A and B are shown apart, each in its own frame.
Chain A
Amino acid sequence: MHRFAPSTLMLAIAASLVGCQDSGPQDTKVAINKNPYPSTYQAMPAQKTLIKNATVLTGTGDRLDGADVLLVDGKIQAVGKGLSASGATSIDAKGKWVTPGIIDVHSHLGAYPNPSVESHQDGNEMTSPVTAEVWVEHSVWPQDPGFNAARAGGITSLQILPGSANLIGGRSVTLKNVPSVTMQGMKYPDAPYGLKMACGENPKRVYGSRKETPSTRMGNMAGYRNAWIEATEYKRAWEKYDTQYAQGKNPKAPERDLTLDTLKGVLDGDIKIHNHCYKAEEMAMMIDLGKEFKYDSGTFHHAIEAYKISDLLAQNGNCAAMWPDWWGFKMEAYDMIHENVAVVNAVKNSCAIVHSDSETTIQRLNQEAGKVMYRANENGFDLKEEDAIVWITHNAAKSLGIDDTTGSLVTGKQADIVIWNQSPFSVYAKAEQVFIDGAKVYDRFDDKYQAKSDFMLGQATANKAL
Chain B
Amino acid sequence: MKKLNHSVFKKSLLAFALTACSSVWATSTAITNATVYTATEQGILKNATVVFENGKITAINPTSMNVDTTIDAKGQILTPGFIGSMNQLGLVEVGAVARSRDAGFKKANITFDPSLAFNPKSSLVSYARKGGITRDVIVPSGGDSIFAGLASVVDLSGEFDSVQTSKMAVLVNLGSESKGSRAHTLSQLIDKLEKQQKKLAKAKKANSEKKSKKDKKDPTKEALILTALLTGEKPLIIRASRAQELLQLIKLKEQFSLNLIIADAGDAIAVKEQLAQANVPVIISAMDNLPSSFDSLNASLQNAGILEKAGVKVGLSIFGDGTHNLYQLRFDAGNAISHGMSQFGALKAVSANIADMFGINAGKIAVGKAADLSLWSADPFELSSKVQTLWIGGEQYSTESRQDKLRERYMKQSHLPKAYSK
- Interface with A: B54-62, B165-173, B284-292, which one? B284-292
Q: For residue A253, give the distance in angstroms from its CB to the closest CB of chain B.
A: 46
Given A308-B410, A329-B321, also A114-B291 (CB < 8 A):
yes
Q: Does B389 contact A (CB under 8 A)?
A: no
* Distance in angstroms between the alpha carbons of A307 and B94 in the assembled complex: 21
Q: For residue B79, give the distance in angstroms from its CB to the closest CB of chain A.
A: 15
B291 contacts A367, C-beta separation under 8 Å: no
Q: Does B270 contact A (CB under 8 A)?
A: yes
Q: For residue B253, give the distance in angstroms from its CB to the closest CB of chain A.
A: 23
Residues on A with beta carbons closer than 8 Å to the beta carbon of B386: 374, 378
B94 contacts A334, C-beta separation under 8 Å: yes
B403 contacts A336, C-beta separation under 8 Å: yes
Closest chain A residue to B407 by CB distance? A337
- Interface with B: A130-138, A231-239, A412-420, A421-429, which one? A421-429
Within 8 A of A (CB), among B233-275: 243, 267, 270
| Interface residues on chain B, size class | 35 or more
A360 contacts B298, C-beta separation under 8 Å: no
Cβ contacts B304-325/A at 8 Å (1 or 0 each): 0000000000000000110111
B294 contacts A115, C-beta separation under 8 Å: yes
Q: Does A15 contact B (CB under 8 A)?
A: no
Residues on A with beta carbons closer than 8 Å to the beta carbon of B178: 118
A328 contacts B94, C-beta separation under 8 Å: yes
B298 contacts A426, C-beta separation under 8 Å: no
A328 contacts B324, C-beta separation under 8 Å: yes
Q: Does B344 contact A (CB under 8 A)?
A: no
Closest chain B residue to A144 by CB distance? B290
* Distance in angstroms between the alpha carbons of A118 and B297 in the assembled complex: 17
Q: Does A339 contact B (CB under 8 A)?
A: yes
Q: Does B189 contact A (CB under 8 A)?
A: no
B383 contacts A426, C-beta separation under 8 Å: yes
B328 contacts A343, C-beta separation under 8 Å: no
Q: Does A201 contact B (CB under 8 A)?
A: yes
Q: For residue B410, give the distance in angstroms from its CB to the closest CB of chain A.
A: 5
- Interface with A: B68-76, B200-208, B330-338, which one? B330-338
Q: A116 contacts which of B124, B293, B324, B331 (Cβ < 8 Å)?
A: B293
- Interface with B: A210-218, A267-275, A403-411, A455-463, which one? A455-463
Q: Does B20 contact A (CB under 8 A)?
A: no
Residues on B with beta carbons closer than 8 Å to the beta carbon of A201: 96
* Distance in angstroms between the alpha carbons of A379 and B410 in the assembled complex: 13
Given A330-B95, A374-B384, also A145-B291 (CB < 8 A):
yes
A325 contacts B328, C-beta separation under 8 Å: yes
Q: Does B382 contact A (CB under 8 A)?
A: yes
Q: For residue A460, give the distance in angstroms from its CB to the closest CB of chain B.
A: 5
* Distance in angstroms between the alpha carbons of A114 and B295 in the assembled complex: 12
Q: Does A293 contact B (CB under 8 A)?
A: no
A331 contacts B293, C-beta separation under 8 Å: no
Given A116-B292, A145-B291, A343-B410, also A428-B94 (CB < 8 A):
no
Given A374-B383, A460-B270, also A326-B407 (CB < 8 A):
no
Q: Does A327 contact B (CB under 8 A)?
A: yes
B337 contacts A428, C-beta separation under 8 Å: yes
* Distance in angstroms between the alpha carbons of A245 and B335 in the assembled complex: 63
Closest chain B residue to A202 by CB distance? B96
Closest chain B residue to A340 by CB distance? B407
B325 contacts A325, C-beta separation under 8 Å: yes
Given A149-B290, A430-B338, also A328-B95 (CB < 8 A):
yes
Q: Does A335 contact B (CB under 8 A)?
A: yes
Q: Does A380 contact B (CB under 8 A)?
A: yes
Closest chain A residue to B242 by CB distance? A460
Q: Does B93 contact A (CB under 8 A)?
A: yes
Residues on B with beta carbons closer than 8 Å to the beta carbon of A363: 289
* Distance in angstroms between the alpha carbons of A398 and B331 in the assembled complex: 30
Q: Does A100 contact B (CB under 8 A)?
A: no
Given A115-B294, A374-B383, A427-B381, also A460-B267 (CB < 8 A):
yes
Q: For residue A90, give the distance in angstroms from its CB to the closest CB of chain B.
A: 27
Please list 23 pairs of residues, one from A and one from B, whose beta carbons are closer than 8 Å in the complex, sorted by A's number. Answer: A114-B291, A116-B292, A117-B293, A117-B294, A146-B290, A149-B290, A325-B328, A328-B124, A329-B324, A331-B94, A337-B403, A337-B407, A360-B288, A360-B289, A364-B335, A367-B331, A374-B383, A374-B384, A374-B386, A425-B384, A427-B338, A428-B334, A455-B291
List 14 other contacts, CB 8 Å, given A328-B124, A456-B297. A116-B292, A307-B410, A325-B328, A329-B321, A331-B96, A331-B97, A338-B403, A343-B407, A360-B320, A374-B384, A380-B411, A425-B383, A428-B337, A429-B338
Interface residues of A (CB under 8 A from B): 114-118, 145-146, 149, 201, 205, 307-308, 325-331, 333-339, 343, 359-360, 363-364, 367, 370-371, 374, 378-380, 425-430, 455-456, 459-460
Q: Which 8 A-B pairs have the closest CB atoms?
A: A427-B334, A328-B324, A329-B95, A114-B290, A330-B96, A337-B407, A374-B384, A460-B297
